[in-house]
Chain A
Amino acid sequence: MINFERFELANGLRVIVHQDKTTPMVAFNVLYDVGARDEDSSKTGFAHLFEHLMFGGSTHIADYDEVVEKSGGQNNAFTSNDITNYYITLPKDNLEQAFRLESDRMLSLAFTPKSLEVQRQVVIEEFKQNYLNQPYGDIHLLLRPLAYKVHPYKWATIGKQVSHIEDATMDDVKSFFYKHYAPNNAILVVAGDVNLEEIKSLSTKWFSNIEARDVPKRNLPKEPRQEEARTLSVERDVPVDILYKVFHMCSRKDQRYFATDLMSDVLSRGNSSRLYESLVMGQKLFSDIDAFIGGDLDEGLFYFGGKLSKGVSMEEAEAGINLEIEKLKTELVSDAELTKVKNKVISAHMFSELNVLNKAINLATSELLGDPNLVNMQLDLYNAVSSENIRAIAKDIFRSENSNTLYYNAK
């Protein structure tokens, strides 16, 4: 159970306070409700590039990182297709430094040309390091446009192509900032040995004079129902064949999300899971295989992905996956198996609550979904899932015409 209190400033900034007296560190987390899905299709990778620019100095503070380091803190950020999230963990005694830093860059960045030039290069190197100069690095760059034709999930957070990052201009950067970085588009969570009054007073002091901005209402095109199976076959200079099969699934806000998640656990959480037992140990079709959900806020994807064992053909491997899918569609998951995946979720949840930053990020995401208390309701929602729910979802999403298959062949 994560305790929390919530208030809102007049400018729309939502603030959540979680008290944990056992730690000397405070987690200071700012979530901006902007991600790669909010990008223009001709300027992809922008939300992520922007995340880098947020460390390039703000109006009154030239060096963000230096202040964190002097405070004995650590900071980082991540961008997804849905959100951009910034966090600092620092000793409680230096908490106010985090307020000064984050409020100043919410107020305005320095927008120095040098920062744009350098971060553009850094992001291009990141693109190469993680996606292009890496065996299998381009899998998600291939899968997204295969599965999505309309919704902006069709590009990855890093962007569609390097040229979009090369072409970014300072005007693009500025307009992105004022469009999306605003108190009324952000959620602040402070977690640690803190109390509501002190956070109220610090939030008011540092954030209340930042004016609300005109944040456009999100209106993304809905991905039409897929009516025909899609396949893509590529050949690369890699040592091993890989097979991916992905299906459209419900959104994060949907009730069925929890059953879908448990279904992926039945398939591949732990070494006693079905795919490992049957396809790796039993039939030896794959040396390694995983089923997982993307966790996206809008309608997302259910993934199967595995490395083929030596000598196994794509057809044999695919038939193996299809057989497991068929089982889920026709037979009910046994009570013992369902209890097992639920137990695993419960303990993962309890272990994650040991870490103050995890708790802060979970609270912020829950608030974004509409209620910070979702963080506490999750376990009940998982517990409520029945075998019938899982079978119904399997029938619904594991239809051949809802499938997107990537054959990643070794040359």
Chain B
Amino acid sequence: MLDRKQELEYNEIKMPCFLKAETYVLKNGMKVTAMNGGGQDLCRLELVFEAGSKLQTKALQAAMCNAMLLEGTLSKKANEIHESIDFYGAYTSLDVNSDRSVVSLYTLNKYFNTIVPIFIDAIKNACFPEEEFQVLLDQRKQSFSINAEKVDFIARKAFFAHLFKNHSYGKEATLANFQELSREDLIEFHKSHYKKANLKTYLSGEIPPNAHKLLDELLGDWEQNKPIVHKPFTDKTSQDKIHIAKEGALQSAIRIGRVCFNSHHKDYLELKYLSVVLGGYFGSRLMSNIREDKGLTYGIGAMCVQQEDSGFFAISTEVKAESTQQALTEIYKELKRLREDLIPEEELNLVKSYIMGQILSSADGPFAQSTSLKNLHIYNLDFEFYTTYQNMLNKLNSNSLKDLANKYLKEKDLCEVVVGNIS
């Protein structure tokens, strides 16, 4: 007879096998990191530029420059580039954040030799035509005005503007900025951060045999920039409260957090762990209390995020408008619990297993592993990092976590943003 009540034994989750990345060094000394495998005849090429918004001299410059990388060169119009990308069944993605820009191409191997030169040429020789510039700018302006109606968007902007008021991470765009930008601003930004770049390239999938040679031809004469020196940033913390009323809002958006640091700081990993306990998974304390016990929200989370110059800790949620105060009280209660009570052994282990599972899925296949490695390289780390991570997990103890909560998560150090019902 099957005993359904009896728990099955849990097998320990082992570190995944990391693939060994190959490094090609091109003529100009540029490095290409190649992660081979996957079994499908396709691959992904990613170009990482140090071209994030923290380097811009004008709002929206980095984002618009990134968005227009495939919008035409002097010899090729935007529609010719789009037509080639679509015709060969390729997909592209253009991403940018405050630190960097990542431009990716997904292609079938049989078209690799055809589409890669078009893609790289477009990025290198982007000319930012006026017509496309206006269309894209209008598009973004519209999206911005739509987002500006959302409590969550308003809260996020207010939160970062306040947390990083003394750093470019806190410079949030406004609607007026859309009028002030011109294509010349993009040409300027492209010249100093793309045409000349400390470019890092990642290739993953079943890598075609001639990839090294082709990339040497296409990227080997790219003018290299010196890597940017990161200036670690930290700031005083204070218990500021920013409350923005939004009439008729059915939900209030809440952000609570502070400036922290990145993985170069000795406390980063443990604080990240603590953020998982608090609000990093479905069964976390905030989810259990505010969603699963009280039903005040569809979702609530806590995170500890690293940036090249800094990092931040944040709790975020959208809650039933009339229960805004109750939600705030419960959030602070959970923070207090982290500072005053020891995390029970069982919870400690559960979160460890959860994190190990996350690591395992972030290492699932060459694409995922290449993404992980790329993110590690940003902080001058490699897969060794996971050994350090695992050692940290093994050594974790409730006392030091409690100390950590007292060090970083005191109410007097947390800024609070509420948008919606603030009565």
Contacts and interface: CB of A to CB of B under 8 A. Distances in A.
A121 interface: yes
Nearest to B252: A133
A346 B89 contact: yes
A22 interface: yes
Most chain B CB inside 10 Å of its own CB: which residue of A89, A119, A121, A348: A121
A180 B363 CA distance: 37
Given A72-B354, A117-B295, A271 B251 contact: no
Given A271-B82, A277-B79, A128 B250 contact: yes
Contacts of B78: 271, 281
A134 B152 CA distance: 10
Interface residues of B, number: 75
A353 B146 contact: no
A24 B362 CA distance: 11
B16 interface: yes
Interface in A208-235: 209
A287 B139 contact: yes
A118 B138 contact: no
B319 interface: yes
B108 A347 contact: yes
Given A66-B283, A121-B295, A343-B87, A24 B16 contact: yes
Given A72-B357, A100-B8, A239 B146 contact: yes
A358 interface: no
A350 interface: yes
A284 interface: yes
B150 A60 contact: no
A187 B340 CA distance: 47
Contacts of B360: 24-25, 72, 91
Nearest to B83: A272
Interface string A107-149: 1000000000111111011101110111110000000000000
A71 B360 CA distance: 12
A132 B250 contact: yes
A13 to B, nearest CB: 16
B90 interface: yes
A104 interface: yes
Given A69-B283, A281-B135, A347-B106, A129 B298 contact: yes
A118 B293 contact: yes
B90 to A, nearest CB: 7
A72 B13 contact: yes
A73 interface: yes
Interface in B59-112: 70, 78-79, 82-83, 85-91, 106-108
Contact of B295 (A70, A119, A287): A119
Interface in A40-75: 59-61, 63, 65-67, 69-75
Contact of A209 (B2, B10, B39, B298): B2
Contacts of B13: 72, 91, 93-94
A59 B89 CA distance: 49
A281 B79 contact: yes
A121 B320 CA distance: 9
Interface string B348-375: 0111011011101101110100000000
B149 A135 contact: yes
A63 B360 CA distance: 23
A284 B79 CA distance: 15
A281 B39 contact: no
A271 B356 CA distance: 40
Nearest to A343: B89
B297 interface: yes
B113 interface: no
Given A22-B39, A125-B320, A339-B87, A135 B150 contact: yes
Most chain A CB inside 10 Å of its own CB: which residue of B5, B12, B14, B89: B89
Interface in A273-288: 273, 277, 280-281, 284, 287-288
A243 to B, nearest CB: 14
A164 interface: no
Nearest to A20: B39
B11 interface: yes
Contacts of A389: none
A23 B107 CA distance: 22
A-B CB proximity, top 3 nearest:
A121-B295, A72-B357, A343-B89
Given A22-B37, A66-B350, A271-B82, 7 more contacts: A91-B357, A122-B295, A125-B297, A125-B298, A133-B251, A237-B149, A345-B89
8 contacts: A117-B295, A118-B292, A119-B295, A130-B298, A134-B150, A269-B86, A284-B135, A354-B367
Interface of B: 2, 4-5, 7-8, 10-14, 16, 37-42, 70, 78-79, 82-83, 85-91, 106-108, 131-132, 135, 138-139, 142, 145-146, 148-151, 249-251, 281-283, 291-298, 318-320, 349-351, 353-354, 356-358, 360-361, 363-365, 367
